[in-house]
Copies of this chain bind each other. A is one copy, B any other.
Amino acid sequence: MSESMDSRKAAILRAVVDEYVKDAEPVGSSHLARISGIQVSSATIRNEMNILEHDGYLTQPHTSAGRIPTDKGYRYYVDTFVSESENSDVMQFRSIEEFFTKAHGALAEMFSDTSRLLTKLTNYAAVVTGPSPESKLIRSIQLISLDTKKVLLLMVDSKGVVEKKTLELSEEVDESALEMASNYLTKKFRGAPLGTLVEMESSGNLRLDNLCMESLGALRELRGEAESVYIEGAANVANAFDAVDTVRRVLATLEQHFLVVSLIRDVLSKGQKVAIGSELGIEPLAECSVVVSPYVVEGERVGSIGLVGPTRMNYPKVLAAVNLVSAGLGKRLSEG
């Protein structure tokens, strides 16, 4: 591979990606010569495309068809031509601001609404993951009796998100004991992150200690439970691909939420915002790309939003949308 990407080759690669994203059809040299700003003959373009193909940026579906970008080609395109700051079609995105200035209800709805917004903006499948349970700060703990020996534990965090857990007690308790324990636990742990629940020293009251112990166990379990995920617009993958079995594969994969979550985590942990086709490392998603962005609340990355579409996606637009939405979400949550 003699990597010598001069500016003309780059321009050609860029044009190929743009055209292919637009029309979903292999683009040929003469088409490029006509359409693009490159002022050379189709023959020259042919030569350059040949080299680009040998270097792995382009490929031909078959001899005597035009070229389409490879994953590597998309990667170069994204790294080189898609500026993070530029807001592509800002006009179209006015609705984002509007969306986030409107008041919103519970956090869960906020996330699923955000997911819906993203899917509407981009016409691809959108994913929003909520804050990881460990980082949550406890605001209030309530024990509510469901049965003589069965209690519902409610934990409200600093953002107003409610987590719940039913727990079976070893002995019967009455309402007043529950109320007492609720107050005690809330006072004790208010402001503590769910992730760092220490042991509790004895309060002197055996009955109370017992109840608190069991509640603490439930809280620890809560912490380990799966992150919340909101996936919307999965139906759009049916629009993104013609082959019905590609649609099947991708949809089936998207239904496995944990897979999607770890996918997004992986991409972010590599410091990337975009992962393309084979880079995802998930065979059924070989024809997909993922664009992700963490959102930041009070200086901390608490969750992320992502977008799953075909490798042949409008990267500038999608990146802009994802960035704007993640910024909006972070800001909105910071005000909270």
Residue positions of A touching B, CB distance < 8 A: 105-106, 139-140, 142, 144, 146, 152, 154, 156, 160, 162, 164-166, 179, 183, 232-235, 238-239, 242-244, 247-248, 251-252, 254-255
Name the distance in Å between A110's Cβ and chain B's nearest Cβ.
Answer: 11
Question: For the complex, what is the distance from the CA of A105 to the CA of B90, rounded to whole Å?
Answer: 45
> Considering the chains assembled together, what is the distance between the CA atoms of A105 and B142 in angstroms?
17
| Known pairs A160-B164, A235-B254 / 8 extra A-B pairs, C-beta < 8 Å | A105-B166, A106-B164, A139-B146, A142-B144, A152-B160, A160-B166, A234-B251, A235-B251
Query: B139 touching A144 by the CB < 8 A rule?
Result: yes
Known: A235-B251, A247-B244, A248-B238. A162 touches B164 (CB 8 A): yes
Q: How far is the CA of A243 from the CA of B247 in the complex (A)?
A: 11
A40 to chain B, nearest CB (A): 39
State in angstroms the CA–CA spacing of A86 and B150 once bound together. Answer: 37
Complex CA–CA separation, A244 to B164 (angstroms): 41
Among candidates B156, B165, B251, residue contacting A238 with C-beta atoms closer than 8 Å: B251
Cα separation A129 to B183 with both chains bound (whole Å): 35
CB neighbours (8 Å) of A254 from chain B are 235
Pairs A-B, 3 closest by C-beta atoms = A235-B251, A238-B248, A140-B144
Tell me which of B233, B239, B244, B255 contacts A233 (CB under 8 A): B255
Is B166 a contact partner of A106 (Cβ separation < 8 A)? yes
Chain B residues whose CB sits within 8 angstroms of the CB of A144 once the complex forms:
139-140, 142, 156
* Residues of chain B within 8 A of A162, CB atoms compared: 152, 154, 162, 164
